């Protein structure tokens, strides 16, 4: 069966980058590209035919333009227009088509996490059966630097395997944060500082052994840097994204993300609000 990518687009300016990335990914992988546009279910019957024709023409024109821009052949594709709720239709199509990867544009409100919670993108990220890409940047370049937060749980091992399988040849930074709350008085103690460095070294050795074991299972030798930092995992990740932003952040949808929480301060809402890079989220269970 031919691998399938699902691009969900509303044809807005914000979704152009996702359209561009989808064309490039389909060309690079040989996958079929299914393009989904969800229309207003309350559209008057008399307006349906001309609106559908205009949308299809816009999609066809965008495909031709992007293929010429990237210098790639037109991929095998299917255009689907469906009336309904955008979030529900995107997730339903992903299930029915056995989609390997869903690609969405982003209408992120930078620095306004409360406006991200409940958006179509946020809801699809939580419910889709396949990895979901949230695209911010145009596909003028291939991803080179990919950041993967890890704790070597089953979830983080799964996302690492997904990245290595789907994105061969990228440079990986594996970020592990270990949190050890300590009082200000103790943090200045030389004995504590010495213990902290010993603990960091021990933890790094343990992680390196786990990483070596995983790479032997996958039979691959990618370009990998392991970074171990002390601090709250959420803050360590967000600080890293500000100081050394990657091309792509890839992570799994397990507990630390706050997936399913209604609080806008959960990590997923903060990432959608604050991250200045493309995101890939893999549902791990």
Span 35-86, pLDDT tens digits = 999 988 888 877 778 888 999 999 999 999 999 999 999 999 999 999 999 9
Residue 44: Cβ within 10 Å count: 8
Distance CA 155, CA 285 (A): 8
Half-sphere exposure at residue 122, Cβ-oriented, CA atoms within 13 angstroms: 26
Q: What is the pLDDT of residue 153?
A: 80
Q: Domains, the chain, ranges and CATH?
A: 1-105 (3.40.50.620), 142-285 (3.40.50.620)
β 278-282/248-252 pair status:
parallel
CA nearest to 91, candidates 124, 139, 57: 124
Q: What is the pLDDT of residue 263?
A: 42
β 101-105/132-135 pair status:
parallel
User: With bands split at pLDDT 50, 70 and 90, how would you rate the model's confidence at 12?
Assistant: confident
Segment 159-163 long-range contacts (CB within 8 Å, at least 24 positions apart)? 159/250, 159/251, 159/252, 159/282, 159/284, 160/214, 161/214, 161/218, 162/131, 162/250, 162/280, 162/282, 163/250, 163/280
CA 167 to the chain's CA centroid:
12
Each residue's pLDDT tens digit, 164-182: 888 888 999 999 988 776 6
Mean of all residue pLDDT scores within the chain: 84
User: With bands split at pLDDT 50, 70 and 90, how would you rate the model's confidence at 161?
Assistant: confident
Measured on CA atoms in the order 231, 235, 239, 245, is the torsion positive or negative? positive
């Amino acid at each position: 069966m031919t691998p399938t990518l699902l691009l969900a687009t509303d044809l807005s300016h914000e979704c152009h980058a996702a359209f561009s990335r989808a064309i490039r990914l389909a060309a690079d992988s040989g996958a079929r590209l299914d393009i989904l546009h969800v229309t207003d279910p309350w559209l008057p019957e008399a307006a349906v035919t001309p609106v559908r024709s205009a949308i299809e023409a816009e999609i066809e024109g965008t495909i031709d333009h992007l293929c010429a821009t990237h210098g790639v052949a037109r991929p095998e594709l299917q255009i689907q227009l469906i009336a309904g709720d955008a979030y529900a239709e995107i997730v339903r199509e992903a299930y029915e088509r056995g989609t390997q990867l869903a690609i969405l544009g982003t209408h992120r409100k930078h620095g306004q996490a409360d406006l991200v919670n409940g958006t179509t993108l946020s809801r699809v990220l939580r419910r889709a059966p396949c990895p979901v890409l949230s695209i911010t940047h145009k596909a003028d370049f291939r991803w080179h630097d990919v950041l993967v937060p890890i704790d070597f749980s089953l979830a983080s091992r799964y996302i690492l395997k997904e990245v290595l399988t789907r994105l061969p040849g990228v440079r990986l930074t594996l970020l592990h944060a270990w949190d050890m709350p300590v009082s200000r008085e103790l943090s200045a103690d030389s004995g504590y500082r010495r213990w902290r460095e010993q603990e960091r070294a021990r933890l790094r050795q343990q992680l390196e052994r786990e990483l070596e074991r995983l790479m032997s299972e996958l039979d691959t030798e990618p370009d990998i840097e392991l970074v171990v930092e002390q601090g709250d995992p959420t803050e360590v990740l967000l600080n890293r994204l500000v100081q050394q932003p990657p091309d792509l952040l890839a992570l799994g949808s397990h507990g630390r993300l706050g997936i399913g929480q209604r609080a806008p301060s959960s990590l997923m809402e903060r990432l959608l609000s604050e991250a200045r890079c493309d995101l890939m989220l893999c549902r791990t269970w």
